[in-house]
Structure 1
Amino acid sequence: MDKPVFKRILLKLSGEALMGSLSYGICEDTIKEIARQIKDVKELGVDVCTVIGGGNIFRGVKGAAMGMDRASADYMGMLATVINGLALQDALEKMDVQTRVISAIEMREIAEPYIRRRALRHLEKGRVVIFVAGTGNPYFTTDTAASLRAMEMGADVILKATKVDGVYDKDPMVYADAKRIKTITYIEVLDRNLRVMDSTAISMCMENHMPIIVFSIKEYGALKRIVLGENLGTLVK
C-alpha cells in the first residue's frame, strides 16, 4: 500500500459541495460519495477532521443583504452547518466510520461542545471529527473556522473541496480560456483577490505556514490521491 504524505488533514467542505445536482439542500448520493472518500483516507491511517459550511441551506451574508440583522443572519448560517454536519455523520457511521460532531455553539443533545483537548483525543482514537457552527461568532466565515481548527488540531494541510479542480486565473465557468494555477503564494492570492478562502483565513494560514490544497470533490478518489501525494488541484503555500 502507498504511504500517505500527510498524517493529519483538515477537510474544508462547503455547503454547496453537498448539493450535487440539486439547487438546494443535501443530495443523498453526493454525501455518500464524500463519506466514502473520507473512509478511504481513514483506512490509510490518516487522522481526518472537517469543517463544513451551510451555504446549501442558508448563508448569513445573503440574509444580511435581504435586510436581516447581520449577526442574526450569521447565527442562522451557523445552525445550517450543524444540519450538514449531522448528515455527514450519519453517512459516515453507516459505513462503520466512528465520528464526533463538535459544535462551537453549545447544543449538547446533538453535538459535543468544542473543547480543544477533547477534539484532539477523538482524533488520536481514530475518530473523524466534524466541526460545525463555524467559530461560534458572527462576521467570521467557515473558511476562517477551517484555518483556526487546522492550527488548533495540528493538521499538516487544509484540503479545500470545491466544485472546480483548483484555482484559476479567471472564472472557468465564464471564460473558456481560463487556466488552472498549479502553485501560488498566499500573497498572490491576496493581491489578486482570488477567491480561494477569505482574506482572514488566508492571512492566518500565511502567518502559521499552513498549506492549502484546493481540489474538486467531484473528481473520483481525489481526496485519497492527494493524501497519497498526487499533484491535483492548486497548492497555496
Structure 2
Amino acid sequence: MSTPVYKRVLLKLSGEALMGEQRYGIDPKVAQALAYKIKTIYEMKVEVAIVVGGGNIWRGFQASTSGMDRSTADYMGMLATVFNALALQDSLERIGVVTRVMTALQMHQVAEPYIRRRAIRHLEKGRVVILAGGSGNPYFTTDTTAALRSMEINADVIIMQKNEVDGVYDDDPRNNPNARKFEELSYMDAINMGLRVMDVTALSLCMENKMPIIVLNLDDGNFEKAMLGHKIGTLVR
C-alpha cells in the first residue's frame, strides 16, 4: 500500500520534542530532524496541522502550584508555544515545506491570527499549519487544544507524538520492563485506567466527537507507516 489512508491529520507535538538532550529550550538540530519527518508526510500530499506544546520553556500549571496566578502562568505557557512554533516553521521552510503559523493570541508581527476557515484554506493549498498559543484560554492544556482544533479543521485523526515511548502502556516502560503495551483502546478505558494518552478534558472531547487518536513515537518512519494504515503505536477510538 502506497496511498495514504488519511487526507488530513493533526499532529500533537510536546514541547520536549524540540528539546533533545538539553534540559531547557530548543535544540535546532532536533527541530530540523523533526522537520524532515514532517516533510515525508507533506510529500505524500497529506494535509498536516500541528499543535505544539511549550513544556520545554514554561509549564504554567507547575508555576501556579508555586503561588503564581494560574491565568498569568497559563498565558506565559501560551507564549512559549509560539516560540516553538516559530522555530519549527523556520526548520520546515528551510527544507522547502511551505508553512503558516497561526496563533490563538493575536501577534500580527510574527503570525496570523487563528481563523478556522483560513486555516482550512491553507491546508487545502498544501501548506503545513502550526497552531500556536493553545486555545487562547487559561486552564486548558495543549492536549485539549489539539482535540478542539482537530474537529474545527475536520481532521481525520490526531497523531499524538510521545518521547521515548512507542504507544500507550499500563505502566512506564522506561522503568518497568514488564509494562504491557496496548494496541487499541477505547476512550473510556483510557480515562478509567488513568492512562496518559491526553488529559481527561481532551479525551472526553474526542470521545464525544468520535475523533480517533494514534499514539506513537515519530522515530523509524512511524509517522509515514501510520499514514499508510499500518498498525503503529496505540489506536484510541
Do they fold alike, i.e. is TM over 0.5? Answer: yes
Deviations 1:109-167 (CA, angstroms, capped at 9, x unpaired): 00100111111110010000000000000000000000000000000000000111000
TM-score (norm 1): 0.98
Q: Is residue 2:84 matched to residue 1:90?
A: no
Secondary structure at the aligned position of 2:121 is classed as: helix
C-alpha distance in 2 between matches for 1:138 and 1:228: 36
Letter in structure 2 aligned against 1:23: R
C-alpha distance in 1 between matches for 2:50 and 2:120: 13
Residue 220 of structure 1 is matched in structure 2 by: 220
Residue 61 of structure 2 is matched in structure 1 by: 61
Letter in structure 2 aligned against 1:201: A
Q: Give the C-alpha shift of residue 66 in structure 1.
A: 1.6
Q: Is residue 2:147 matched to residue 1:132?
A: no
Letter in structure 1 aligned against 2:234: T
TM-score (norm 2): 0.98
Q: Superposed, which structure 2 residues align to 1:1-237 within 5 Å?
A: 2-163=2-163, 164-217=165-218, 219-237=219-237
Q: Give the C-alpha shift of residue 220 in structure 1.
A: 2.2
C-alpha distance in 2 between matches for 1:28 and 1:112: 23
Q: Give the C-alpha shift of residue 37 in structure 1.
A: 0.9
Secondary structure at the aligned position of 1:101 is classed as: strand
Q: Give the C-alpha shift of residue 179 in structure 1.
A: 1.3
C-alpha distance in 2 between matches for 1:75 and 1:127: 27
C-alpha distance in 2 between matches for 1:2 and 1:33: 23
C-alpha distance in 2 between matches for 1:209 and 1:106: 30
Secondary structure at the aligned position of 1:139 is classed as: coil
Deviations 1:21-77 (CA, angstroms, capped at 9, x unpaired): 111111222111111111110111110000000000001011112211010000000
Letter in structure 1 aligned against 2:96: D
C-alpha distance in 2 between matches for 1:208 and 1:188: 16
Size of the aligned set, in residue pairs, is: 236
Q: Give the C-alpha shift of residue 6 in structure 1.
A: 0.3
Residue segments in structure 2 that go unaligned for 5+ positions in a row = none
C-alpha distance in 2 between matches for 1:170 and 1:26: 28
C-alpha distance in 2 between matches for 1:86 and 1:225: 27
Q: Give the C-alpha shift of residue 222 in structure 1.
A: 1.5
C-alpha distance in 2 between matches for 1:39 and 1:173: 29
Secondary structure at the aligned position of 2:49 is classed as: strand
Letter in structure 1 aligned against 2:107: M
The alignment yields a C-alpha RMSD, in angstroms, of 0.9
Secondary structure at the aligned position of 2:220 is classed as: coil
Question: Which consecutive aligned stretches of 4+ in structure 1 deviate over 6 angstroms post-superposition?
Answer: none
C-alpha distance in 1 between matches for 2:54 and 2:133: 9
Deviations 1:176-227 (CA, angstroms, capped at 9, x unpaired): 211111100000011011111000100000011000000012x222211111
C-alpha distance in 1 between matches for 2:236 and 2:216: 11
Residue segments in structure 1 that go unaligned for 5+ positions in a row = none
